[in-house]
Structures are given as C-alpha cells and as structure tokens.
A and B are shown apart, each in its own frame.
Chain A
C-alpha cells in the first residue's frame, strides 16, 4: 500500500490578523488558528487517493505543542497517523532550518509521495516544500492543481502556472506542492471526532533527530527579519474627464504603456 505523507502547518487566521504598529510584529494573541488552506487541500488530495485506491496517509507538522489541536482535526478528517515535530530547540526556524528538520525526520519513515501545500498564509514563502525535496534528494513538482494518475511507480499531474498548465510526470517517490484549487476539503466525520482524541500523536524532538544546533531553530536560520511593517499604499492618480470613446482609448494606451496587456 502506498504511503502518502502530508506536511501541514497551523497558521493564524490571517483574515483576523492585526499588526502591532509600534513593534512591527504580528499580534498573535487571541487570533484563532486554522490549518493552512493549501496544506488542507493537499491532505484532501491524499484522502481522495486513499478512498480511490487505498493508501496510508500520515500528517506531519512542525510547530509548538498547541499544534496538536490541529492534528486532532486531521484525524477527524481521516488521517491514519499524525506526527508533531516539536522541541524548543526548533523554535525560531526559518524555511531553511524547517526543511532541515522536516527532511531529517522524513528520512526516517517510509513514503512514496510527500505532499506539501504551496505556501503558508502567514509567511507566503513557498520554500519549505521545495527545500524539503532537495534535502531528501527527491524529484519535485510545484503548483499542482490536479493529480491525473498515481501508482507506486509514477505520478502524473497538472501544474498550474500563471497563464498555462503543464502536464508533468515524475517517478516515485517524489514531492509535490499543492494549490488550494486541487481539492475542496471535506468535513470532519462525527464518528472520527469521537475517536480523534484517543489516537496517539507521535511527538518528535531533537532527542530523536540528533541534529546540531547550527542546523536548526533560530541559530540554523540564515534569514534575519530586519523589520516588519504594514505596506502603505500611495495612490498616484490622474483624474481625466473625457468622452466615453476617448476615455476607452486613453485607458488602452495606459494599459499598453505599462505593459499590463500585450499588443
């Protein structure tokens, strides 16, 4: 049976996010958390493969102990196993240190396919999936919005780019990153909710992974955030009063001039 590992992240619900204007940081207190939408869509894609042809679906997250609440929900959605990679030593990790940690753990478990969401709504980097594939020396396909076929040997997917699709094939094992459009997440099942809290959540610490401090957490993170601020939008606008036809012509000129559209 195929082993599918899905990487997920618990993120603040950015629709309810506020920024501390003095410190320039996100105010996390009191903000509800959700499962990152692209990741949840990736899990749904995995569950659909499981429903169709059978597979074991393992959910892996790296985060603080509170992330366990997300894993309970993932059990209620149909995950077979949930793993929480959590250790104070992993704290403050950027995408590099995160993928070091995830990669080290994933190297210890069986997988045929690893699915990561394209990007997390709190950081928007889209780096963890691809970097993890590199650490594991796996082929990777990003921006997947449809899995066309999958077997233990081969996967065929549709990759969505800005203005076109690519149909790509890869040998297995491989890693794909998914767009939210790949699948609409299902609802939890009441029966699975009743069981979700009795299932074990495997907690992985650095005791298990034995990584050096220079490769993990804040010390293993080359990215340094100098400043966080809210973008100020300056609207430079010209107001022209023209006849409809002339106005249309003017708009066309502006669009062409700024290369918003091609000739």
Chain B
C-alpha cells in the first residue's frame, strides 16, 4: 500500500490548486449570487485540458487517471462547488459512458469534442416519476426504420442549459422492465428536443439544472449507445463513476470550509485571545480534519480501484455516503466557528453550507448509497 501521489499526480494537483485559487475563487460569490453559469471558467478549463482528464489522448483527452481527475473536482470545489460539478457531470456522466460503451465512430464524433473541451456534456436519467427508482423510466424510444422516435422528459439535468451532447435513457421495451431501458446520444438543437424549465436551487446556484423535453425526436439509430436493452446497466455503471466525482466535490467543500475556519480562528480575538487558543476551536478542527482525511482516503481508494480496473461500485458508494455526510458536518461546524460572520455573505461559508446539501442527494441519495453498500454485503 502506498499513499504517495505520483509525480504526475502531484504536479497536476499543483496546477489545480493554482487554477482554482486564481480563476475560480474570485468568481465564486458572483456565480452564486447571480445564479450565473461560469462560461469563461469552462473555456479556461478546456484550454488546459481539464475537461477530459481521464480520457485517452487519442479521444481528445489528457490521458490522466481517475485519481488525477477527482483531485481536480476536489480542488475546484474547495472554492466553488458549482465549478466542481460542471466538471464532474461532464467527465463522469458524459465522457465516461461514451468511452466505456461507445463505438469507435461514436467516440470519434462525440467523445473527442467533449474530452477536448470544445463541447460540454450532460446525462439524463432522472424523470418526474423516476428518481431513486430509476427503473421507472417513462420516456419511450420506439424503433421506426433507421430511427428511434423519442418522447418524454427528464428533470434536474446538470449542465442542461449549456451542454451540447446528452446521454439519455428511454424505454425501448416496456414489457422487459430494466432490461427494456436503452441509452442514447442526443445533440443540442435536434428537432424534437428542447430544454425546458431551469431550476432555482438552494445551492450550486451557478450550475445549470434543467428539464429536457423530447417531442417526437427522430433520433438516428446509430445514436444508440451500447446495445438495446442494456441502458440500465450503462446508467448504473456510469453513476458508480459519477459518485467518486461527487464524493470529491463533497470533500472539496468540506476542506474548503475548514480551511476558512482555521484562517478565521487564528485571526479573530475574543476574551483577549485568538479563538484558536480555545480548546473548543482546537478540538472542532482536529475532529473535522480527521474526518475529512478519512473521507479523502475513501474517495481516493475508489478512484484508484477504478484506475486499476477492479470493482469499485461499493467503495464509490461508501466514499460518496461518507464524504457528503462530512461535507454537511464541516459546513455546519466551520460556519459556527465564524459565528455571525459565517452567516453573512462577507465569508463564503454560508454559500458552502448551502452547496454541501446537494452532495447527499444527487447521483444517488445517501439512502441509495446505503442500499448499494448493503446489497454488496448481503448478497
């Protein structure tokens, strides 16, 4: 067992820290307050290969590993959870399924522009009546000659309003249950495909969360991703990977919070001494950093297992479950250390407090993670 980063990983981490501090942090408050998607940051990340980190170079990516990729999400999320999830959804939920399940032609046509950052990706599984129960897909895809006629809608789609390429799921055979679900690649601007309502949210306000509407979308049959009827498996495997990204986002928020609190308690004086001299502050930050490190080890383990081509589904669920829990705890306690100041917009804690909550919900709620973990133990 080796807990050292490789030289490449360490140098990448240095880049991500610099980039997040200089380019992401200064925009974070504005992105939140104006609910503004940070297009300029996305463009900057594309220019330095941050939008296809774990995708091989021949498909437009940077040829890095998953650990490097999730460290990018972590570092971005330390200062702006919105920016973190843009990268996570794009990489884990759009690039990854294309890489794993796409044909050569599909990789050439869709993965290459995504991984090079020329285009942005999104993933559409959730529906009004299919949340945690993702098998209850009501969107339909009916084969008609060389096309699939797609009807239905998706909700809560991250990157929805800004994505060019969408991986979506629909029922090709209602009789077969989960074996009747198929995955498809849909492009922005196709006739019969439109973006519906944009959600206003508690946190990650700058991220674009929208509805996708399909009305007699005639999708060429070549846009079927993987085999017909194998969509549910593709969705679940994709989400396994996505969970490591969200765990990294949660981890970034948690560490970002604590870093702010540590800075504050060293400066703030009450009762004639800095808050850092009080045992309460000391014990709170000691506990938090220990828990954050534990979350980091779980998250990195899942990423390394994925890199090694080993099963990682349970470990990814554990990482997300624990990291999102610690993220909530860290925002709550860190904000408390700042007292009234933490509650104001003078400090980023109130934003991070709101941002942390989503990590317990999307890409499988904490309860779903427990179902995944328990299922692996009780089989």
Contact = CB atoms under 8 A, between A and B. Distances in A.
Contact of A191 (B7, B11, B18, B62): B62
A197 B7 contact: yes
B57 A193 contact: no
B5 interface: no
B19 interface: yes
A260 interface: no
Contacts of B15: 76, 187-188, 190, 193
Contacts, number: 48
Interface residues of B, number: 18
B157 to A, nearest CB: 26
Contacts of B49: 189-192
Contacts of B48: 186-190
Contacts of B64: 190, 193-194
A196 B6 CA distance: 13
Interface string B172-191: 00000000000000000000
Contacts of B19: 187
A194 B11 CA distance: 9
User: Which of the listed residues A72, A73, A190, A193 has the most CB atoms from chain B within 10 Å of its own CB?
Assistant: A190
B50 interface: yes
B68 interface: yes
A77 to B, nearest CB: 10
Nearest to A198: B8
Nearest to B22: A187
A82 B18 CA distance: 23
Interface string B61-83: 11110001000000000000000
A190 B68 contact: yes
Interface string A69-91: 00011001000000000000000
B65 to A, nearest CB: 9
A186 B8 CA distance: 18
Interface of B: 7-8, 11-12, 15, 18-19, 47-50, 53, 57, 61-64, 68
Interface of A: 72-73, 76, 186-197
